[in-house]
C-alpha cells in the first residue's frame, strides 16, 4: 500500500492541473507549481470548473469541493514546491530538453521519488542527466486525467523495483488502472501501439486520400467515441508532431516522412487548446462539417497496425499481453484492445492487410513483424493468459436453501450477458440438472440489474461468429425449458435485451413495480437474438410483442404484470421469491413439473414446416371444396371430415 501523502506537480497546464486535481480528489496534499503566473490562474479556474462538473454529476458535493481546494497549494518556483514532497511529478511540454532541465532542478532539491508524465520519451535517457537516477520513474496519465482510468508505470533501466511497486500502488489508490512497462521503450505501450496508425493517418492527410471529416465519420460509425483526426486536435497537433519527430529519431526514420501537420504548428493552430486545428473548436467541442463516410482507411487497417506493433512489444518483453490489452482499452477509451482483436482474426487476415498498406504507402513501419510473417501470432499470444479477468473470476454464484437452488448473476453492476457469463450459466445448468435434491431454481441479479443486456463491447470478428454466439445463447436458454425443475426469474432493476431473454426462458417471472423491462436491440440495428423474438409473442401475443420489440420501449413491473410477462408482483422480491419457491418445492412434483413444462412449451412452439405441410393436405381434401362451394352458394357447409 502506497505511503505517499504529499505530492508536488511541476507544470500547471491542462494536463498538470488535471493530475493535481486527481491527487487532491483522493485526499493527498498537493503543491502545484508553474513559473508563469497566468498559467497558475488558468489552472485555478480549470480545477474549479472541473469540480463544479463533478458536483453537477453528483460525484461530489460542495463540502467535498472545498476540502479538495484546501488540499492544493500554488507555487512559482520548484525549490519551495518540492521541499516536503514524497513524490514530485513533472508535467511539462513533451520536449526532451525542457523535460531534462526541469527534472534536473527537481532532483537537486528533493531526495524522494520523481516521476515524469512523459508520453513517449525514455525514462532511462532522462534519468542519466539527473541526481540519483534510480528514483526516476514514469507515471503517465491520460487526458483528461480526472476521467481517464489508465496510468502507465514505466521502469527505467536504473529505476529501483520498490519505486515501481510504490507508484503502481499509488495509482490503484487513485482509482486508476495501472499497467507496468517492464522495458523502457519509446512510446511505452499505448502510444507505441498507436504510433503506426498516427503515421498512416498523417500520410493519408498528406496525400489527400479523403477529407478528415469523411474518415472520422467512418470511424465513429464503427463505434469509436472520436474519429482519429478529431482525436489529433483533442490531444494537440503539436503533441502529435513532437511524437512523430521523437519516433523518427528513436524507432524509425519513417516517422519523419510526414510533414503534413507542420503548417498547423507554424500558424499556432494546435487544435482544441487554441480553438482551431484540423477543425474549429468551440466550448471544448469540434465543429465537424457534414460529410459522407470514407473507408479509404478502414478499421481493419487500424487493427492490423496495432496488432503488428503489439507483437513487436511482446517479442521484446516490453509488457505482458494482459497489460497491453488493458493499456489500449483504458488509455484509448475503447471496449477492447489489440489482444482481443488478434484472437478474433486469422494470421493471414492481418498479414494480407499489412502487406497491402506497405505496398500502398512504401513505409517500412507497416511491414509485418517476425511473428506475423512466420504465422506464429496465436502461439505468441497464448504463451501467457490473454486476460486474467480477476474481477470476472466468479461471474455466477450458486447456492442451495432447502430444496431451492439460487443462481445469482455476478458480472458487474449491470450483469451484462458476455460470452463468459453465458459459459458460466451453462456450467451451472449442468450442476443444477444433476442435482436431484433441488426442485425449484431462482435466477436473480443484483439491486441495479437482473441483466442490462448483451455485452456489446466484445470484439466479434465476422457475421458467422456473431451468428454462432446468438445460437449458443439460444441453446443455453432453451435448456432451462427442458430441465425437470421449475425456474423462477426474480427480476429487479434493469431487465433488458439478453437479460429479458433469459427471464423469458424461465417458467415463472416475478418482480417489483419499479423493474425496467425492454428490448433495446432494434434501436441498435439488432434484434433479440437469444430466442426473445419467438418467446415473447408466444407469451403475450403478436400485437404486444411487436409493439415492445419494434419500438424498443421500456415498461415497468405493473405494465409487465398487465401484459402477463410477470405473474406476481412483490414488494420485496428477495424474500417473497424465496418463500414462493420454497412453497413450490414442497407441493409440486418434479415429475409433474417436467411433463407439464414439456406439454405447455410444445403447444406454444411454431413449426412452419408442419404448417405448410398441413395446408397442402387440406388442399387435397373434400372439406375444402365443400367449404368454398357453400360460401359461394351462401349456405352452411356439410363437412364429411375428408
452 φ, ψ (degrees, to nearest 5): -90, 15
Which of 43-57, 64-78, 462-476 bottoms out in mean pLDDT, i.e. has the lowest? 462-476
Asked whether 265 and 236 are in contact (CB, 8 A), the reply is no
**What is 467-488 written as a DSSP string?**
HHHHHHHHHHHHHHHHSSSEEE
Inter-axis angle of helices 62-70 and 14-25, to 10 degrees? 110
- 474: Cβ–Cβ under 8 A, 6 or more apart, which residues? 529, 530, 531
Question: Is 521 annotated in the active site?
Answer: yes
Give 138-183 pLDDT, tens digit per residue: 999 998 999 999 999 999 999 999 999 999 999 999 999 999 998 8
With a pLDDT cut of 70, the percent of the chain lying above it is: 90
Q: What is the pLDDT of residue 470?
A: 77
DSSP label at residue 493 = B
Structural domain boundaries enclosing 640: 608-642
Number of domains in the chain: 4
The dihedrals phi and psi of 89, each to the nearest 5 degrees, come to -110, 120
Q: Where are the beta strands (DSSP E) in 238-346?
A: 280-282, 285-287
End-to-end CA distance of the chain: 85
- CB distance 153 to 164 below 8 Å: yes
Task: Return the pLDDT at 620.
Answer: 53
Three-class SS of residue 418?
coil
- Of 521, 562, 576, 626, the active-site residue reads 521
Is 420 in contact with 392 (CB distance < 8 Å)? yes
Residue 63 confidence (pLDDT) above 70: yes
pLDDT digits (tens, 9 = 90+) for 371-418: 999 999 888 887 644 333 333 348 899 999 988 999 999 998 899 988
In which band, very low, low, confident or very high, does the pLDDT at 632 lie, cut at 50, 70 and 90? low
Q: What digits encode the pLDDT tens for the residues 230-248?
A: 999 998 999 899 889 989 9
Asked if residue 219 is part of any domain, the answer here is yes
C-alpha cell at 291: 460529410
Same domain for 541 and 625: no
Residue 99 lies in a domain: yes
pLDDT tens-digit profile of 435-444?
Answer: 888 999 999 9
Residue 301 phi, psi dihedral angles, 5° rounding: -60, -50
Torsion of CA 91, 93, 98, 102, to 10 degrees: -10
CB-based contact 410:372 (threshold 8 Å): no
Does some domain include residue 593?
A: no
Rounded Cα distance, 481 and 590, in Å: 13
For 113-129, how does the pLDDT look when each residue is reduced to its tens digit (9 = 90+)? 999 999 889 999 999 99
pLDDT score recorded for residue 389: 36
Q: Are the CB atoms for 207 and 199 separated by under 8 Å?
A: no
**Residue 21 pLDDT:** 96
Asked whether residue 359 falls in the same domain as residue 451, the answer is no
User: 454: which DSSP letter?
Assistant: B
Is residue 1, in this structure, part of any structural domain at all?
no
Reported confidence tier of residue 623, pLDDT bands at 50, 70, 90: low
602 occurs within a structural domain: no
558 and 433 in a single domain? The answer is yes
Residue 432: per-residue pLDDT: 93
Mean pLDDT estimate for the chain: 88
> Is 33 marked active-site?
no
Q: Which of 309, 447, 501, 586 is catalytic?
A: 501
Query: For residue 527, what pLDDT is reported?
Result: 83
pLDDT digits (tens, 9 = 90+) for 184-204: 988 899 999 999 999 999 999
Q: Are 89 and 7 in contact (CB under 8 A)?
A: yes
- Residue that is last in its domain, among 388, 408, 435: 388
Whether residue 122 sits in one domain with residue 12: yes
Amino acid at each position: 500500500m502506497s505511503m505517499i501523502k504529499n505530492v508536488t506537480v511541476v507544470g500547471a497546464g491542462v494536463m498538470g492541473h488535471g493530475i493535481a486535481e486527481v491527487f487532491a480528489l483522493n485526499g493527498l496534499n498537493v503543491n502545484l507549481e508553474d513559473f508563469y503566473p497566468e498559467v497558475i490562474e488558468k489552472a485555478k479556474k480549470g480545477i474549479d470548473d472541473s469540480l463544479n462538473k463533478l458536483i453537477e454529476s453528483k460525484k461530489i458535493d460542495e463540502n467535498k469541493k472545498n476540502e479538495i481546494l484546501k488540499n492544493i497549494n500554488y507555487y512559482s518556483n520548484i525549490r519551495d514546491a518540492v521541499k516536503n514532497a514524497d513524490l514530485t511529478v513533472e508535467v511539462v511540454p513533451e520536449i526532451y530538453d525542457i523535460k531534462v532541465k526541469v527534472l534536473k532542478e527537481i532532483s537537486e532539491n528533493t531526495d524522494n521519488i520523481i516521476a515524469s508524465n512523459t508520453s513517449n520519451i525514455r525514462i532511462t535517457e532522462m534519468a542519466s542527466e539527473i541526481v540519483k537516477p534510480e528514483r526516476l520513474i514514469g507515471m503517465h496519465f491520460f487526458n483528461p486525467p480526472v476521467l481517464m482510468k489508465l496510468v502507465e508505470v514505466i521502469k527505467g533501466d536504473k529505476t529501483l523495483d520498490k519505486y515501481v511497486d510504490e507508484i503502481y500502488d499509488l495509482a490503484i489508490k487513485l482509482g486508476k488502472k495501472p499497467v507496468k512497462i517492464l522495458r523502457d521503450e519509446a512510446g511505452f505501450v499505448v502510444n507505441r501501439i498507436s504510433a503506426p496508425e498516427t503515421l498512416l493517418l498523417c500520410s493519408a492527410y498528406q496525400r489527400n486520400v479523403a477529407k478528415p471529416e469523411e474518415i472520422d465519420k467512418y470511424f465513429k460509425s464503427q463505434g469509436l467515441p472520436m474519429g482519429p483526426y478529431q482525436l489529433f486536435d483533442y490531444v494537440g497537433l503539436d503533441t502529435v508532431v513532437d511524437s512523430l519527430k521523437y519516433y523518427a529519431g528513436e524507432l524509425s526514420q519513417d516517422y519523419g516522412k510526414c510533414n503534413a501537420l507542420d503548417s498547423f504548428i507554424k500558424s499556432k493552430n494546435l487544435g482544441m487548446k487554441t480553438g482551431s486545428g484540423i477543425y474549429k473548436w468551440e466550448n471544448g467541442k469540434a465543429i465537424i462539417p457534414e460529410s459522407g463516410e470514407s473507408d479509404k482507411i478502414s478499421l481493419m487497417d487500424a487493427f492490423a497496425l496495432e496488432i503488428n506493433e503489439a507483437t513487436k512489444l511482446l517479442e521484446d518483453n516490453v509488457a505482458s499481453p494482459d497489460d497491453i490489452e488493458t493499456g489500449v482499452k483504458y488509455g484509448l477509451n475503447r471496449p477492447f484492445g489489440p489482444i482481443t482483436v488478434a484472437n478474433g482474426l486469422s494470421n493471414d487476415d492481418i498479414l494480407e492487410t499489412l502487406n497491402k498498406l506497405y505496398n500502398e504507402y512504401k513505409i517500412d513501419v507497416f511491414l509485418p513483424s517476425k511473428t506475423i510473417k512466420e504465422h506464429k501470432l496465436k502461439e505468441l499470444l497464448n504463451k501467457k493468459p490473454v486476460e486474467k479477468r480477476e474481477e470476472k473470476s466468479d461471474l455466477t454464484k450458486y447456492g442451495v436453501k432447502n430444496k431451492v437452488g439460487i443462481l445469482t448473476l455476478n458480472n458487474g453492476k449491470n450483469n451484462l450477458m458476455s460470452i463468459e457469463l453465458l459459459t458460466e450459466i451453462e456450467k451451472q445448468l449442468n450442476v443444477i440438472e444433476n442435482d436431484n435434491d433441488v426442485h425449484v431454481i431462482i435466477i436473480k441479479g443484483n439491486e441495479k440489474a437482473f441483466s442490462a443486456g448483451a455485452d456489446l463491447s466484445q470484439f466479434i470478428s465476422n457475421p458467422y461468429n456473431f451468428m454462432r454466439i446468438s445460437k449458443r445463447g439460444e441453446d443455453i436458454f432453451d435448456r432451462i425449458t427442458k430441465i425437470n425443475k421449475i425456474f423462477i426469474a426474480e427480476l429487479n432493476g434493469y431487465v433488458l435485451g439478453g437479460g429479458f431473454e433469459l427471464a423469458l426462458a424461465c417458467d415463472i417471472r416475478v418482480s417489483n413495480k419499479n423493474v425496467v423491462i425492454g428490448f433495446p436491440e432494434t434501436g441498435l440495428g439488432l434484434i433479440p437474438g437469444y430466442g426473445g423474438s419467438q418467446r415473447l409473442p408466444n407469451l403475450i401475443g403478436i400485437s404486444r410483442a411487436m409493439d415492445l420489440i419494434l419500438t424498443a420501449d421500456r415498461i415497468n413491473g405493473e405494465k409487465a404484470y398487465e401484459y402477463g410477462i410477470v405473474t406476481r408482483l412483490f414488494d420485496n422480491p428477495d424474500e417473497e421469491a424465496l418463500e414462493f419457491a420454497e412453497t413450490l418445492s414442497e407441493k409440486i412434483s418434479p415429475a409433474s413439473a417436467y411433463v407439464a413444462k414439456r406439454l405447455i412449451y410444445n403447444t406454444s412452439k411454431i413449426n412452419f414446416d408442419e404448417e405448410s405441410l398441413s395446408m397442402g393436405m387440406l388442399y387435397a381434401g373434400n372439406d375444402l371444396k365443400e367449404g368454398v362451394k357453400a360460401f359461394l352458394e351462401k349456405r352452411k357447409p356439410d363437412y364429411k371430415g375428408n
